[in-house]
Amino acid sequence: MLLITAFLFPMIAGPLAARLPDKTGTGRNFKYAGVMILTDILCVLAAFFGRPVDLFHMTEKAVFGFSLDNFGKIYLFMVIILYTAVCFYAFEYMKMEERPEMFFAFYFVSLGALIAICMSANLVTLYFCFELATLSSVPLVLHEMTKDAIAAGLKYLFYSIAGALMGLLAVFFVYYYAGSGEGFVLGGILDKGMVSGNEKVLLAVIFIGIIGFGTKAGMYPMHGWLPTAHPIAPAPASALLSGIIAKAGVVAIVRLIYYSVGTEILRGTWVQYAWMCLCMLTILMGSTCAFREKVMKKRLAYSTVSQISYILLGLSIMTEDGLRGGILHLMSHAVSKGCLFLVAGIFICKLGKRNVNELRGIGKQMPVTMWCYMLASLSLVGIPPMGGFTSKWAIAAASIGDGMGVLSFLPPVVLLISALLTAGYLFPIAVDAFFPGHDFDTSGLEKKEPTLLMTVPLIVLCVIALAVGLFGTRIAAFI
C-alpha cells in the first residue's frame, strides 16, 4: 500500500492544510512545507520499497493497479524535484495573488495525480490518472479568475478533453488486441495472432492515440492551448505546467508505444514517418513563434511547444537510444524551463516587468537571478556541459543511426536550426541585462534580489540541469 499512500497523501493533506485557519498565512506555509516534505519522503520510500498492488478488476483484462518501474521512477523524481522547488518559491510569489489557499489546494491534488501517473501499472489506470491530472490543473490556469484566465482555462480543458478522447480510443483497441498480459511490458502486450489482418485499422487508431496524448505535450496540430494557458497562469503554475504537467502526455505516449503496442509493429510504417514529421514541424514552428514573441512568459510557452517535441522526436525514432535521448531531454527540459518560468515570475513579482524589451540592465539589479536565467538558457540551447546538450546529442545520434534514409538526417538539421533560434530568443535578454549599453543609465538602479525562498529553488534547478549534463551517460544506463 506504500504506492497508494504516496499519491493519496498530498491529495488529502494538501487541501486540508489549505482549509486550516491562519490569519497571517505563515503558519499555513509551514503546513504546506510539511506536506511537501512528507510527500517527498513517501515517494522515495515507494521508489525503493513499494510493491505492486491491484485494487480491483473493471473487466477481465482491465485492472486498476499500480506498480513502479525505472521509467516511472525517473518521471517520479522529476515531479517531486520540480514541485518541491515551486512549493517554496510560491510562498513568496503568492503573496501578490488572491486566494493562495485555493492555489495550494489544487497544487497538491495535481501533485498526487502526477505521482499516480508515475505509478500506473497499465493503460487503463494511467488514463484515469491522466484525466485527473488535467482536471486538477485547470484551476491553476483559472486562478486569477479574470476574463482572459477563464478563457485560457476553458481552452486548456476543451483541448485536453478532445485529446483524451482520442487517447481513449487507442486504449480501447490496445486492450481488444491484447494478449493475456494486463500490465506494461517493454515490447508491448498485443497478441500477434489477433493483430494479423487488422494492421491497417490498428495503425490508424494508434496514430490517433499519439495525436490525442500529444495534445497535453503541445504537439501540432493540437498545440493551441499551451501558448494561451501558460502565460496567463501564475508563474509557479506556469513552471509546473511547462516543466512537468505537460510531460504527462509524453509519459502516456511512452506507455502506449513502448510498453503496450510495441515498436516492432510501428517501426517503418507511415505512423512512424508521420509522427517524426509532425515533431519536426512542431519544433520549428514553436521556435519561430518564440523568436518573434515579445511577452516573456508567452515566449517561454512557445519555447515549450518546441522543446517538448524534442522529446517526442526522440521517441518517434523507436529505438532504445531514441528512448533514452527523449527521457534525458524530459529531465533537462523540466528543470531548465521550470527555472526560466520562475525567473519570469520574479520579474513580474518584484519589478512588474512582463515584456522582454523592459529587461535592459536587470542584471545589475538581480545578478543571481540573471545568472540562473543564463545557466538554464545554456541548457535549453544545448551548450555543454549542461543537460540540454547531452539529451540533444543523444537524440541526434539515435536518429543518424536508425537507417531511415532522409529521415535519418533531417532531425539533426532541425535540432540545429531550432538551437540557433533558441539562442536567438534567450541569449539577447541576458546580454541586454548584463550589458545594457552606454546609453542606459544604471546610476539609479538598486539591487532588488528576491528572498532566498525564490533564489534557492532557481539555484537547485540549475545544479540539477548541470548534473544531467555531467552524468547523463550513467542516467541513460539506469534507464
Provide the pLDDT for residue 443: 62
**pLDDT for residue 210:** 96
Q: Is residue 366 within 8 Å of 374, Cβ to Cβ?
A: no
Residue 408: predicted pLDDT:
81
Q: What is the pLDDT of residue 360?
A: 85
Burial of 344 (0-12, 13-18, 19+ CB in 10 A): buried
The reported pLDDT for the residue numbered 204 is 94
Question: 57-68, pLDDT tens digit by residue?
Answer: 777 777 888 999
pLDDT of residue 74: 92
Q: Write down the pLDDT at residue 112.
A: 96
Q: Looking at residue 175, what is its pLDDT?
A: 87
Q: Please tell me the predicted confidence (pLDDT) of residue 354.
A: 85
DSSP-derived secondary structure letter, 178 = B
CA distance 308 to 304: 6
pLDDT computed for residue 94 by the predictor: 87
Note down pLDDT in tens along the chain; length 479 residues: 889 999 999 999 999 988 877 655 567 788 999 999 999 999 999 999 989 888 877 777 778 889 999 999 999 999 999 999 999 999 999 888 788 889 999 999 999 999 999 999 999 999 999 999 999 999 999 988 888 889 999 999 999 999 999 999 999 999 888 876 568 888 888 888 888 888 899 999 999 999 999 999 989 888 888 888 888 889 999 999 999 999 999 999 999 999 999 888 999 899 999 999 999 999 999 999 999 999 999 999 999 999 999 999 999 999 888 999 999 999 999 999 999 999 999 999 888 888 988 888 888 888 999 999 999 999 999 999 998 899 999 999 888 866 677 888 899 999 999 999 999 999 999 998 888 777 676 666 677 788 899 999 999 999 999 999 888 778 777 76
Helix (H, G, I), strand (E, B) or coil at 63: strand
Q: What is the pLDDT of residue 99?
A: 84
What is the pTM assigned to this prediction?
0.94
State residue 50's pLDDT score.
86
What is the C-alpha to C-alpha distance for residues 170 and 159, in angstroms, rounded to an integer?
Answer: 17
The 10 Å CB-count burial string (b at 16+, else e) for 354-370 is: bebeebbbbbbbbebbb
Output b/e per residue, 17-33; b: 16+ Cβ within 10 A: bbeeeeeeeeebbebbe
The pLDDT value recorded for residue 24 is: 58
- The answer to whether the bond into 428 is cis (omega within 30° of 0) is no
Domain boundaries, the chain: 1-175+224-255, 267-479
| Coil/strand/helix, residue 190 | strand
Element of type H or E holding 200? helix 199-216
Q: Is 469 helix (H, G, I), strand (E, B) or coil?
A: helix
Amino acid at 302: Y
The predicted pLDDT at position 14 comes to 92
pLDDT score of 25? 59
